[in-house]
Amino acid sequence: MNRGYDLARYVDVVNRVRRAVPDICLTTDLLVGFPGETEADFEATYAAVEDLRYDSAYVFLYSPRPGTAAAALDDDVPRAEKVRRLQYLGARQREIAREINEALVGQEKTALVEGQSKKAAGELAGRLSENKIVNFRGSAAPGEFVRVKLTSASSWTLRGEQIP
């Protein structure tokens, strides 16, 4: 994909960042089925996701984009294989994200209130410093900071209780 670095260099950077900021939240975008991607290439990506343990990742199927260098390449990975890779990698990433979020349950955090929750009537939605969304019952206005105790987790969001 014409990257100016390799996996070893990338892993080194991630490890240095995590040593400097142990509670950093890492996210990424991943592409499966790029022209020429072999099963071994995909397995290496899967292993990197296992090793690096992203807080979240958006996983996409490769599709040619006019005007890019890749558009001139032979799109040789069958669509069914791209979909299989997308589902397999996406499922594991969701498990990893849930595991990371579940490790936060029981902790008290500060949340910036963004407004009403889109998922639960009568609840507020806030964002933690890690850029994670927390939904909670409480009374605060958008823009206020509140303390919440995290009570449960999913792959994408946390639930909590506002601490008076």
Model pLDDT for residues 9-66, shown as the tens digit of each residue: 999 999 999 999 998 999 999 999 999 999 999 999 999 999 999 999 999 999 999 9
Radius of gyration over every alpha carbon of the chain, rounded to an integer in angstroms: 19
- Compute the residue count for the chain: 164
Q: For residue 145, tell me if it sits in a domain.
A: yes
Arithmetic mean of pLDDT, 71-94:
96
41 and 119 belong to one structural domain: no
In terms of C-beta distances under 8 Å and separation of at least 24 residues, what long-range contacts does 138-143 make, across chains too?
138/162, 140/113, 141/113, 142/113, 142/114, 142/115, 143/112, 143/113
148 and 108 in contact (C-beta within 8 Å)?
Answer: yes
| Any domain includes 51 | yes
66 in the same domain as 16? yes
Q: Which residue is associated with the tokens 């499922």?
A: 91
Same domain, 87 and 65: yes
Instruction: Please indicate, yes or no, whether residues 91 and 115 belong to a single structural domain of this protein.
Output: no
Q: Are 105 and 151 in contact (CB under 8 A)?
A: yes
In a domain, 1, yes or no: no
64 and 90 in a single domain? The answer is yes
140 and 86 within one domain: no
User: Do 44 and 73 sit in the same domain of this protein?
Assistant: yes
pTM of the model: 0.90
Band (pLDDT 50/70/90 cuts) for residue 119 is: confident
The DSSP code for 122 is: T
User: Could you tell me if residue 49 is left (phi over 0), alpha (psi between -120 and 50 degrees) or otherwise beta?
Assistant: alpha
Structural domain boundaries enclosing 16 = 7-102
- Classify residue 2: in a domain, yes or no: no
Domain stop point among 85, 102, 119: 102
Does residue 154 contact residue 141 with C-beta atoms inside 8 Å? no
In a domain, 24, yes or no: yes
- Average pLDDT estimate for 146-155: 97
CATH number at residue 43: 3.30.750.200
Is 27 part of any domain? yes
